[in-house]
Structure 1
Amino acid sequence: MELTVLSLVLAASMILMLSLGVWVALTLVGVGALGLLISGNDQIGLLFGTSSWGASTSWSLTALPMFIWMGEILFKTRLSEDLFKGLAPWMEGMPGKLLHVNILSCGIFAAVSGSSAATAATIGRMTLPELKAQGYSERMSVGTLAGSGTLGLLIPPSIILIVYGVAAEVSIARLFIAGALPGLLLVAMFMGYTMVWATIFKDELPKTREQNLGLLVKLKALKLLLPIVGLIIFVLGSIYTGFATPTEAAALGVFGALVLAAATGSLSLSSFKESLLGAVKSSCMIGLILVGAHFLTLSMGFLGIPRELAAWIGGMSLSPFELLIGLTALFVILGCFLDGISVVVLTVAVVMPVVQQAGIDLLWFGIFIVLVVEMAQITPPVGFNLFVIQALTGKNILYVAKAALPFFLLITAALITISWFPQIVTFLPRTMSQ
């Protein structure tokens, strides 16, 4: 059977299983088993056991459940509410006012969560009712949340960067450092767009008198931010300074989150159990996807698909820029049907030979992938952030997608920017490694 036909059979099988509602992880395992049968290999059980062990025993992966748990602790306790209350007074004088709280809250929470869906859900529960009650444009409220919620994928510590680092064998600590400036760039672009929008569409802002909050009020509000900001500095600072590895920093982060929750009186046996159970569920889901993707990658290796694909693309003599355009389209299309982690683990092994052959820096490529996956998170029909916000608001998913469209375009602009100026990604890792 020709390789093109084989690829189409496997792709059709995957689409069919996903459309029938089969879990992503089980779909990957099923398609992998089908690929082995087609290749004439009947050692499916042995190969699955071997690949599962290889996919799940990397030491770097131990940071993943710890960072997830840290985010769950903050989600289940009062610390996330303090984030909103601490930021609100400082945004009163800016065009767009509390709309910026959506953006900054997502940016800050992303730095302790690492998850896009958790960031959007946590911040949305606090900000959307408040923005609606004060008369802010509902579409802009939803749009800023949908766009800014994707920051959970990029701003370190990012779960998807850990997954990419393990799959591509790139230093996770360097990936975390590389994600800092692009993350800040996105925050600045989102806030800049919001200020321009608020200046043009003043009628869609609440008709309230300007509040001239005194410095004392703002400083009191700032005290509410200090615990979470302190935790961010503690965790990321330990990685950037070389004091701790990402895995050790994750453990320190969990300890710090528990201490802060206990100090604020919001840690109870119930919230502790809920946070731990939430972390276990998320970690098991990601772990299963990693196992399934690793098995499918092994199966495709037996069929020779990655090698033939690399040779085919190499024969087209594409420039690195043309290759990146093609990969962007591929990742966005896949992101319409799969979650971000599935997209990364499914494609990295296949496209990595092509990327290396084109001379593209794997560290830079990791940030590139995350930005593209961020775009996919707010792309219908299966943009995960769209589903999260639809559940929060009860709005039609196309309404949410339309509200998020400007932020999709802003992420695209950020992608173009780091392509023209790769130093935005590589500057900090190179500087801090010297």
Structure 2
Amino acid sequence: MQEVYLVLLFLFALFLLLGTGVWVGLALFGVAYLGLEMFTTRPAGDAMLTKIWSSSSSWTLTALPLFIWMGEILYRSRLSQDMFRGLAPWMARLPGGLVHTNIVGCTIFAAVSGSSAATLTTVGKMSIPELRKRGYPEYMIIGTLTGAATLGLMIPPSLTLIVYGVSVEVSISKLFMAGILPGLLLAGMFMAYVAGWSVLRRSEVPDIGKGMSFGEKLKESRFLIPIILLILAVIGSMYGGYATATEAAAIGVIGSLILAAAQGSLTVHTFIDSLLGATRTSAMIALILLGAAALTLAMGFTGLPRALAQWIEALELSRFALLIALMLFYIVLGMFLDGISSVVLTMAIVQPMVETAGIDLIWFGIFIVVVVEMAQITPPIGFNLFVMQGMTHHEMGYIARTALPLFGIMVLMVFVLIFMPELATYLPENMREVRGAG
């Protein structure tokens, strides 16, 4: 019962601060301070400062602003228009038209960034102006982009999978392999939703005019060559073992600058604008991340995540019921914490439960990532909602409503994984055979 009171108190404090117009990051700090002062004996200021410093000094976080800067360069150069121009001929005749560029673009960039926020920012900078210009409904532009950007957590490289692999001591390379097929299937399910929308609401799909021949499509595809080369350079440097994610992000920035300069679209003005734009976006995200880190600290000291996990364990559920309970548990937890924090705080309790139920840890890692993806678009602390709000200035409730169908698709994906576990386990189990055959 005490845990219920804590949840209600945290929710009340958070909504009170957000409702009075306090910045999101500062609201998270306020709730964290309240939790530490009221329910722990540790000095709140000292604890929060230590946590903020340790979180902000993490080297792995430098990849995020670099990937955001890469997106800003692409947005301000002709490369962003070229990517859209290269994808558009192939997407235009699909049911739903150019809305598919949101999903395909996020799928492509997810293989570079490993971050949902970076994927959302980069693809959004490219696609939102173009789709608006062509008259597509705002709710479809915002909703598909907000939801599809979560693929940055699934398709390798994924920061969440790395943290999970370290926490439960399983092979990160096998986790990366396990995320490929579910990630592609989830992208396909998102595209199926767009196709269904185009059939049910045909009048809302803009007329795109005369289609192109196959030869004309191939000719337009040449505009994709620069961005494909850039992606191959970033991915190749990581998978070839030549660079870490942060170093690969730096390669992406340098490659973007080189390509923009080669196209003649890089000027002193665009360079400064891209740098300032990346700084503003990174600062916004950093403040939210630091606030989330402080709230994670407060939640950890109060023992709320651990108590909730122990409560689920005491129910002695069947395998299926346990997975559904864990899905609901992580969705609720995602209303307060970022995905990585949820994994770190709860895995010590959840892992024994999962192993006792005979659930494969590699498969469970993909299950966790799908549920964490849901948390990215779940109010009040869905991270993608905040990033999208910062980009478009729409109300939080509006963004959440537009992304709700994609949330439902992710719930469906959980059941697909439960009833088709080989979707996540096939590639990891056959890694050795594939290498031996090669």
TM-score range (shorter-chain normalised) is: 0.7 to 0.9
Q: In structure 2, what is the equivalent of residue 350 of structure 1?
A: 345
Q: In structure 1, what is the equivalent of residue 130 of structure 2?
A: 127
Q: How does 1:155-304 map to 2 (within 5 A)?
A: 155-156=155-156, 178-195=178-195, 198=198, 205=205, 211-215=211-215, 217-304=216-303
Read off the aligned partner of 1:351 and give its amino acid letter.
Answer: T
1:149-195 Cα offsets, whole Å, 9 max, x none, are 44455445567667878998988776655543333212222333444
Bigger mean CA offset, 169-178 vs 352-361: 169-178
Distance 1:109 1:374, change over 3 A: same
- Kept in 1, the 8 Å contact 2:312–2:325? The answer is no
Q: In structure 2, what is the equivalent of residue 71 of structure 1?
A: 71
User: Structure 1 vs Structure 2: percent identity of aligned residues?
Assistant: 50
1:86-143 Cα offsets, whole Å, 9 max, x none, are 12223355444434334323433444564254156324434323432xxx67765665
1:251-301 Cα offsets, whole Å, 9 max, x none, are 222222222222222222222223223333333344444443333333444
Q: 1:430, CA displacement in angstroms?
A: 6.0
Normalization by structure 1: what TM-score? 0.78
Q: 1:225, CA displacement in angstroms?
A: 0.5
Q: 1:206, CA displacement in angstroms?
A: 5.3
Q: 1:82, CA displacement in angstroms?
A: 0.6
Q: 1:224, CA displacement in angstroms?
A: 0.5
Distance 1:202 1:8, change over 3 A: closer
How far apart are the structure 2 equivalents of 1:122 and 1:356?
A: 39
Q: 1:250, CA displacement in angstroms?
A: 1.9
- Kept in 2, the 8 Å contact 1:119–1:149? The answer is no
How far apart are the structure 2 equivalents of 1:362 and 1:289?
A: 30
- Kept in 1, the 8 Å contact 2:85–2:220? The answer is yes
- SS of the residue corresponding to residue 228 of structure 1 reads helix
Bigger mean CA offset, 260-269 vs 120-129: 120-129
How far apart are the structure 1 equivalents of 2:380 and 2:52?
A: 30
Distance 1:315 1:245, change over 3 A: same
Read off the aligned partner of 2:281 and give its amino acid letter.
Answer: S
- SS of the residue corresponding to residue 98 of structure 1 reads helix
Normalization by structure 2: what TM-score? 0.77
- Kept in 1, the 8 Å contact 2:186–2:413? The answer is yes
How far apart are the structure 2 equivalents of 1:169 and 1:266?
A: 47
Bigger mean CA offset, 416-425 vs 366-375: 366-375
Structure 1 unaligned spans of 5+: none
Read off the aligned partner of 2:186 and give its amino acid letter.
Answer: L
How far apart are the structure 2 equivalents of 1:393 and 1:26?
A: 21
Q: In structure 2, what is the equivalent of residue 311 of structure 1?
A: 310
Structure 2 unaligned spans of 5+: none
How far apart are the structure 2 equivalents of 1:325 and 1:50?
A: 36
- Kept in 2, the 8 Å contact 1:61–1:163? The answer is no
Distance 1:232 1:5, change over 3 A: same
Q: Is residue 2:34 matched to residue 1:19?
A: no
Q: Please provide the CA RMSD for this pair.
A: 4.1
Q: Is residue 2:57 matched to residue 1:57?
A: yes
How far apart are the structure 2 equivalents of 1:39 and 1:198?
A: 52
How far apart are the structure 2 equivalents of 1:55 and 1:391?
A: 22
- Kept in 1, the 8 Å contact 2:89–2:212? The answer is no
Q: 1:81, CA displacement in angstroms?
A: 0.8
Distance 1:417 1:59, change over 3 A: same
